[in-house]
Amino acid sequence: MARLVDNPDLAFRLARAIVSDIALYNQEKVKEGIKNDNIFEILTEELKEGRDHFHSRVSPELESRDHLFDRAIVDVMIKQAGKIESSIW
């Protein structure tokens, strides 16, 4: 079995890669979710699957692991969607 990531920087890089894949494979859902301000509802299943995968690869002792995944969602998915027209901007 592979060793779990216990370095916050490496864990954040992993989180960004996972969220990047979610955004890439769900571009229409991201656009719709930003446009209608319901991105977390639209991507509930995908984000849960991504978070579960992240948790399976990162040590539970890493206190900030949930924060790192949430930050990756904002950095990768939300910020990059800033060019999508929406009432939330």
Residue 87 has pLDDT above 90, yes or no: no
- Angle in degrees, CA 61, 9, 48, rounded to 5: 65
Render pLDDT for 10-53 as a digit per residue (tens, 0 to 9): 999 999 999 999 999 999 999 999 888 899 999 999 999 999 99
Residue 2 has pLDDT above 80, yes or no: no
Q: Are 64 and 6 in contact (CB under 8 A)?
A: no
Nearest CA to 17 among 67, 77, 79, 84?
77
- Looking at per-residue pLDDT, the higher value among 67 and 80 belongs to 67
- Looking at per-residue pLDDT, the higher value among 87 and 56 belongs to 56
Residue 69 has phi, psi (to 5 degrees) of -65, -45
